[in-house]
Structures are given as structure tokens and as C-alpha cells.
Chain A
Amino acid sequence: MLETVFFYLFGGLAVLAGMGVVLAHNTMHSVMFLIFCFFNAAGLFFLLDAEFIGIILILIYVGAVMVLFMFVIMMLDVNRAKLREGFLQYLPMGGIIAVILLVELIASASSGVFVSDEMVQAVHLGQEVNNTVEIGKELYTKYLLGFEVAAIILLVALVGAIVLTLRERKDAKYQNISAQVNTRKEDRLRKVKM
């Protein structure tokens, strides 16, 4: 009973926060709503006994990703009036697609697959089951290939970000370290007769 109440609390707040992200006028408010949404999603994970994933969601997404996001938004000069240009032009097409999607999702949600008994009944784990250990075991054994490939994807992201941003500029002034080290007194010092 209590679990159901909390499920609807977290779920409902997550949906409201999600709407807030889209509807908020101030971009910073959108980010705040998104953070709130993540907290509620973490709450849902806690209800499923997946406390590790819940905490990771808060630590990584709220703690790291969203902070970076905020920096980016603060540095961008977002012109909302300009963003709204062409809103009416794209509204009909976008609206049609949105309505079709909504109908599809409602149809699939009400078709019975997500309300059959076995699907809604989350099985609670015993006290002795350690989330972190179990995830670790699965990740480093059965899902090892995916784990390794994910590592390579991160490497590519790293290399890509550097390649696209780091360029030697021809007009920039660089230190010539070997010249600095090899310099002698005679090069720099000049005796002037007074």
C-alpha cells in the first residue's frame, strides 16, 4: 500500500517535472526541473530495491552531468525570441507527429501488456542481496564484451572532443622551452658604457 503511494508520488512528480523542463521559460529553470526529475527517477529505482542505480543516478547525473550542463547554459547566450521564430511554421507537422505518437503510446499502454500480473509485481530482493556486488558480477562476466566496447566508445568520445577543439593556432605565441633553457648570459645581457 505504502509502496503504491510512493510509486505514484515519485512517478507523478517525475512527469510534472518533465513537463516543467519543456514548458519553463527560463532555461535555468528547465535545468532545475530536470534535476528534480532525476531525483524522482532515483526514488523509483529505490522502490525497486535498485539502490545502487538510484544513487549512481543522483551522483553522476545530478552531481556531475547537470552541473556541467548549467555551466554550458550560463555561457551560452540563449535568445528565446529567436528560438521561437518559425514556431507556427513547424507546429502543424510537429503537432501531427506528436499526436500520432501519443495515440501509439496510449494504445500500447492500454493493450494489456503492462498491466498483466507478472509484469507489475516487482519481486523484492532479500536483505542479504547486495546490489553493487550483483551488478559487478554480471557486468564483468556475462556482459564483459559490452563493457569493453563501452570503454572504447568513451575513448573515441575523448579523442573526438580533443580533435575537434584543439588546434594549433598559427598566430598564437608559444614558449620555446629549449631556447629558454639554452640561453646564455651573453644573449640577454649587454654592458652599456655610461
Chain B
Amino acid sequence: MANVTFPFPFPANMEILLPEIIIAVMAMVILLFDLFVSKEKKQISAWLAIATCIAAAITTVNVTGSESMMTFYGFFVQDYFAAFTKLLMLAATVFGIILSLDYMKEETNIGEYYALMLFALLGMMLMVSATNFITMYLGVELMALSVYVLVGYQRDVLRSSEAALKYFILGSLSSGMLLYGISFLYGTTGNFDFNLIGEALANSGDSARTATLVGMLFVLAGMAFKVSVAPFHMWTPDAYEGAPTPVTAFMSVGPKVAGFAILMRILVDAMPALEHDYVTVLLWMAVLSLAVGNIAAIAQRNIKRMMAYSTIGHVGFVLLGLIAASPEGYAAILIYMTIYLFMTMGTFAIIILMRRDGIQGELLDDFAGMSKVRPGYALAMGLMMFSLAGIPFLGGFWAKFAVIAAVIDAGHLYLGLAAIMFSAIGAFYYIRVVKYIYFDEERVAFNFSDNVLMKATVALTSIIIVVIGVYPDPVMDVCRMALAGLV
């Protein structure tokens, strides 16, 4: 390794990095562009960012072949799995930008906001394409650093700054844990590459076992922080409540998809030899997440806090797919993430629409009697809530069905039953929102700002969860195909 010959070969297959290059360059272009336009035209940055995401999505589809390709000397991989998760994250970013259009209009420095969103997206895309801990960690940091700033973007709002600071401090701690775990794995295997670590662990004797397990624990704990798995979920409610609502929507989908995708890669490639051990750890994390997410949410009066606990609960369901440790489980995770993306974006779009003349519209009471004023939005919100609760024949049902079926197939019958029980408990607080909307008297005057794109988002996401709910097979097939690069 120390003898590098020159000229060093130019990295082959550089074109598979094209989506990332487009995003990196355009994020910097937006940073500069923002300096030269007048205040009225700042919104163009948002449109540029959306165009960038669409261009990146098209190139992602075009550069992905049925064979998995590597570039930069095996540091970056592009396969169906990476492509599929990247498309999910691109969709999440586009939705995030659309939700921001009205919400962030009055903020200054709006150009940097969209640039930071693209940088966060870039970090997530690098994460899911990582083949070793170096690329993965750099991706994690790029994503996390951008999201910290986005959370604290409304500097004049006290709770926004507070949320950003809490998120930053706990996030740094989790990065430290992640790095510490990686250093243990490097110490026992002498490698950063997932596949080589997997080989080394399969061949290593018992002497390295304890140190490897400690490394695995720290890596799992570090990643659990990033995807807000209990007992590492403490930052989630505060960060979700304090962040600008579009950022909350963005961070409840994008980083979760990226985090679970890279966890799948680590567990499948690097830790097959430790399957029994990590399943034990994840099992308790899943049960805790399901309990915390579904029970603590009942006490929340603020809908953003409620959605934060809802995320923790959903993350618990996603963990079931990892515990199954089978192709069905991993496919179920992708299905879950796809459906969760639309449910969450639709819900947050409606929450953002509730904001009006000085009222945040985030309390459950604010939703009272919405059905009489805006039956369309009320119906959409009702669908979202039923879907999040997992009522049959809406998207969310199939998501939960897939993970629970996978985990029961893998032999964890009691875990599956526990998940069903917690799902039933969770249904209470989702359906309570529907009760407020349909059966309570109107308490405040509704004054929706009618943005066509927001309407379209609400309509699109509602239609998608209904369609997936009635006819889930195409989505499930695509998700199973997307596993090609992973297993």
C-alpha cells in the first residue's frame, strides 16, 4: 500500500458518480447564484434545486446497470439497491423543497437553505453508495452537518436554535461512538472495506470476538442515534418540534432511508458472521422503539412532537426487517420506506398548510372541525392518519404487513405479535386526530394559503397511498428487484 506507482490509474467507471457530481456542482452554483439576484427572484434557487434533483434522478436511472459497478478504486458502488434508495431520497428532497416554497418565503438567505438541502442529499447519496466505512462516515457527517444547520435555520425562533443545539451535541456524540466502533472493527480486522471486514470476521478466531462485538455495538449505537431508534431517540421530539416544518418532513424521511440503507449494507456485507449477536441487540432496540414511539405519542398535544414519536415507532417496525435478516426482510424495509415517504410528506404538507397569520397550527386542537371548512384536506389528513396507523387497504398496512410477515417467517413469532399489539396501541393517537377533524367543533378560523403545488402534493401523496393500498404488487416487485445489488 505504501508503494503507490505513478501515474496512478484514472478511476474507471467515473460516470456512475455523475448524479453526485451534478448535485455537488449545482449546490455550489445555487450558493453563488443567490448572491447576484434581487430579493424578489430568490425563489428561483428553489426551482433550480428541484431541477437538479430531477436531473440527478434521470442520470441515476441511466448510469445504473444490472451489474453493480464500482469507481474510485472500490470506494463507491452503484447498483440497483443504491439507485432505488437514491431515488427515494431524491423524491424526499423534491417534496421537502416544495413544502419549503411558501414556508421559508419570508426568511433571508434563502439560497443557502436550498444549497444545504442539496448538500444533505449529497451526503445521503454517498452513504448508500459506500462500500467502506470511510465513504460512509464522510457521507454521514456531510448529511448530519447540513441537517443541523437546516434545523436551526430560523435563528430568531428560540426553539429552532435550541433544537439545533441539542441535535448537534447529541449528533456529535453519536458520530464519536460510530467512529470508536469503526476503530475497533479496524483494529480486529485491519480493514475499512465492508466485504473484507466480513471475510476477516468469518475467518477470525475467538480471541478477537469480544473486541469485535464491542465495535459492532458502538457502530449500531452510532447509527441508531442517526435513525432515532430507542433508546437513542432523545433528540428526536425536540429537534422535530423546533425545526422549520419542511425540514422536519425532510429529516424524518431522507436520513432515515439513508441510515437504514447503509445499515443493511453493513449488516449484510460486513457482519454476516455476527448475525446472532446483532439480531439480539436489534431485537431489544426494536421492542423499545415500538413501545416508546407508540405509547409516548399518546401524551403529545403538539402534532410535530406526535409525528416525532410516530417516527420512532415506525423506525421500530423497520428494524423488524433487519432482525429478519433475510431478503424478504430487506425488501420489506424498502417497501416500508417507500410508503412511509409518501405518508409523511402528505401529513407534513397538511401541517404546513395549517400555519396562518401568526398561528403555528401545530396543536391538535387547531385541527378541530377542519372537515367542515376544507373537506378535501380533512379527507387527505384522515387517509394519512389511517395509513400511518396501518388500517387495511391503505399503503401503511402493506408496509407493516411486509415487515411483520418477514420477521415471523424468520422465526420471531413473539416479536411479530408484539409489533401488532403496539400497532394497535398506536392506532389510538392517529385516529384521535381524525376525531378532532371530523367530530369536534371548529375553534379557530381557518385561513388556508392555497398554493397549487402544496395542493398537488397533498393530492398526489393521498392518491399514491390509496393506490398502493389497493394494489401493492408493483411496488413490492420493484423493491424486491432493488435488492439485486445487496444480496
Q: Give the interface of A toward B (CB within 8 A).
A: 104-105, 107-109, 111-114, 116, 119, 129, 134, 137-138, 141-146, 149-150, 152-153, 155-157, 159-160, 162-164, 166-168
Q: Which 7 A-B pairs have the closest CB atoms?
A: A160-B149, A112-B207, A111-B210, A108-B211, A141-B8, A145-B72, A137-B4
**Cα(A80)–Cα(B235), bound, Å:** 25
Residues of A within 8 A of B195 (CB): none
Residue B449 lies at the interface, judged by CB distance under 8 Å to chain A: no
Residues of A within 8 A of B1 (CB): 138, 142
* Choice from A119, A141, A160 contacting B145 with Cβ under 8 Å: A160
B119, A150: Cβ atoms closer than 8 Å: no
* Choice from A104, A162, A163 contacting B153 with Cβ under 8 Å: A163
Residue B184 lies at the interface, judged by CB distance under 8 Å to chain A: yes
A145, B75: Cβ atoms closer than 8 Å: yes
Residue B2 lies at the interface, judged by CB distance under 8 Å to chain A: yes
Closest residue of chain B to A106 (Cβ to Cβ) is B210
Complex interface bits, B84-117 against A, C-beta within 8 A gives 1, otherwise 0:
0000000000000000000000001100110110
A-B contact pairs, 10 of them (CB 8 A): A107-B210, A108-B184, A108-B211, A112-B207, A113-B211, A142-B4, A152-B119, A153-B142, A159-B31, A164-B149
A173 to chain B, nearest CB (A): 18
B116, A163: Cβ atoms closer than 8 Å: yes
14 other A-B residue contacts (CB within 8 Å) besides A111-B209, A113-B212, A141-B73: A105-B214, A112-B208, A116-B207, A138-B4, A143-B75, A144-B11, A144-B72, A146-B138, A149-B139, A156-B146, A157-B145, A163-B112, A163-B116, A166-B109
B76, A145: Cβ atoms closer than 8 Å: yes
* Choice from B72, B138, B153 contacting A153 with Cβ under 8 Å: B138
Residues of A within 8 A of B8 (CB): 141-142
B157 to chain A, nearest CB (A): 12
Complex interface bits, B185-223 against A, C-beta within 8 A gives 1, otherwise 0:
001100000000000000000011111111001000000
Residues of B within 8 A of A146 (CB): 75, 134-135, 138
Chain B residues 399-436 with CB under 8 Å of chain A are: none
B134, A114: Cβ atoms closer than 8 Å: no
Size class of B's contact patch? 35 or more
B135, A156: Cβ atoms closer than 8 Å: no
Chain B residues 123-182 with CB under 8 Å of chain A are: 126, 134-135, 138-139, 141-142, 145-146, 148-149, 152-153, 155-156, 164
Residues of A within 8 A of B146 (CB): 156, 160
**Cα(A122)–Cα(B156), bound, Å:** 54
B159 to chain A, nearest CB (A): 15
Residues of B within 8 A of A129 (CB): 2
* Choice from A142, A149, A168 contacting B73 with Cβ under 8 Å: A142
Residue B331 lies at the interface, judged by CB distance under 8 Å to chain A: no
* Choice from A107, A150, A157, A163 contacting B138 with Cβ under 8 Å: A150
B10 to chain A, nearest CB (A): 10
B210, A114: Cβ atoms closer than 8 Å: no
Closest residue of chain A to B73 (Cβ to Cβ) is A142
Q: Give the interface of B toward A (CB within 8 A).
A: 1-2, 4, 6, 8, 11, 24, 28, 31, 72-73, 75-76, 108-109, 112-113, 115-116, 119, 122, 126, 134-135, 138-139, 141-142, 145-146, 148-149, 152-153, 155-156, 164, 184, 187-188, 207-214, 217
A111, B116: Cβ atoms closer than 8 Å: no
A160, B210: Cβ atoms closer than 8 Å: no
Closest residue of chain A to B8 (Cβ to Cβ) is A141
Residues of B within 8 A of A145 (CB): 72, 75-76, 135
**Cα(A144)–Cα(B72), bound, Å:** 7
Residues of A within 8 A of B126 (CB): 149
A111, B207: Cβ atoms closer than 8 Å: yes
Residues of B within 8 A of A155 (CB): 28, 119
* Choice from B2, B11, B139 contacting A134 with Cβ under 8 Å: B2
Residues of A within 8 A of B72 (CB): 144-145
B138, A114: Cβ atoms closer than 8 Å: no
Residues of B within 8 A of A164 (CB): 149, 152-153, 155, 164
A129 to chain B, nearest CB (A): 7
A34 to chain B, nearest CB (A): 15
Known: A138-B4, A164-B155. A153 touches B207 (CB 8 A): no
Residues of A within 8 A of B211 (CB): 108-109, 111, 113-114
**Cα(A112)–Cα(B212), bound, Å:** 12
B45 to chain A, nearest CB (A): 13
Residues of A within 8 A of B75 (CB): 143, 145-146
Determine which residue in A107, A116, A119, A155 has the highest number of CB atoms from chain B within 10 A of its CB, and name it.
Answer: A155
* Choice from A111, A143, A167 contacting B108 with Cβ under 8 Å: A167
A113, B188: Cβ atoms closer than 8 Å: yes
**Cα(A186)–Cα(B280), bound, Å:** 85
B24, A111: Cβ atoms closer than 8 Å: no
Residues of B within 8 A of A160 (CB): 116, 145-146, 148-149
